[in-house]
Amino acid sequence: MREILPALSRWYADGAPFGLATVVGVSGSAPRDPGAALAVGPGDVVVGSVSGGCVEGAVFELAREVVARGEARLETFGYSDDDAFAVGLTCGGEITVLVRPVTRERDPGFGAVARSVAEGRPVTVATVTGGPAPRGAALAVWPDAVAGSLGTPGLDVAVTADARGELALGATGVRRYGPRGERREDSVVVSLHSFAPPPRMLVFGAIDYAAAVARLGAFLGYRVTVCDARAVFATPERFPAGVEVVVDWPHRYLRGTDTDERTVICVLTHEPKFDVPLLEEALRRPAAYVGAMGSRRTHDDRTARLVEAGLTPAALARLRSPVGLDLGARTPEEVAVSVAAEIIALRWGGTGTPLTATGGTIHHLERGGGPGAG
């Protein structure tokens, strides 16, 4: 959704109705996660994707239909091998897609949502997908405001509370309520889609490996900052455009920086006077990933120093060192791929084992937090 919002904002500003299809449920080896979106606008222009190509043609027709009729539709697409030309997912999974018409009259808060996402301000969009409530009705929820309605004041109040909880986590999911927001009923199905600011990647040590890690981190959707105490190395010219470069002592910078459960911290300084106080700070605060570059001898020395500094075994167990997966990497770019692979595996519960050596579903059903949110 985040990627196609610029086009949707233009259509909305021009007063042009469009059909918006959003994945609200997945099972099995589905190609896209909840929140993936496709829209059909003026002149049958298509932006986005809900399946990577498997069912896009069918969803395109549905989007045109809902715009013409002004009514939302909920459709499920799954695997079908009975008819080679049947609409289905070739990967064997199943996706449920909500397709709804978007107009200024129906969605007065859509423009504010689009602006919030563009400006990096957090917002959750709650949409009715089933039950005794208007299907496709939307409620936008900010930390301090709401816009729209799901049909009844009680339902709006209950969903607003849950949406703010999901927003704090940057999560996307499905909740069930009664028609007036009753917690013990489950007849109304509501999809909660959070647009949280991109998670941060903090890279310490302005070396050539840092430039490669920063480039790949930005590609994965992180807001990347590179920090080094040595001004001669920490220059914007040495790093990809859009990467923030800070000259400061690493531990001092981290101490003054907010982190959360989605933050990735990569320590590439490879120097004890920087590494030890930095890791001591990093391992005492929330973060999704803390990795440190160095040989096994360096790791053992660092660990001993951190134990002397008072870190507990539980804190030390969070440290990924030596950093990265065993890919046989040599160049800075290859090492960056190794680090990124470890971050992704940790985030989603992957093993790093070649898929040819595994069985069962390809996509892990237990999802973690990260850039996938929103």
In terms of average pLDDT, the best of 82-91, 92-101, 159-168, 200-209 is 200-209
Q: What value does the mean pLDDT of the chain take? A: 88
CB 39 within 8 A of CB 4: yes
CB 228 within 8 A of CB 234: yes
pTM: 0.65
| CA atoms within a 13 Å half-sphere pointing along the CA-CB vector of 166 | 26
Query: With 60 as the cut, is the pLDDT of residue 85 above it?
Result: no
What percent of the chain clears pLDDT 90, i.e. is strictly above it? 67
pLDDT digits (tens, 9 = 90+) for 179-202: 999 988 999 999 998 888 788 999
d(CA 143, CA 140): 10
Query: With 50 as the cut, is the pLDDT of residue 370 above it?
Result: no
* Higher pLDDT, residue 78 or 194: 194
d(CA 204, CA 215): 14
Q: What average pLDDT does range 54-78 have in this prediction?
A: 90
CB 295 within 8 A of CB 322: yes
Location of structure tokens 């208007």: 134
CB 125 within 8 A of CB 91: no
Per-residue model confidence (pLDDT) at position 77: 84
Query: With 60 as the cut, is the pLDDT of residue 314 above it?
Result: yes
Q: What average pLDDT does range 98-104 have in this prediction?
A: 94
Mean pLDDT is lowest, of 125-134, 227-236, 267-276, 357-366, for: 357-366
Mean pLDDT is lowest, of 11-15, 74-78, 114-118, 320-324, for: 74-78
* Higher pLDDT, residue 270 or 159: 159
Beta strands in 79-118 (DSSP E): 94-102
| CA atoms within a 13 Å half-sphere pointing along the CA-CB vector of 21 | 31
At residue 167 the predicted structure's pLDDT band, cuts being 50, 70 and 90, is: confident
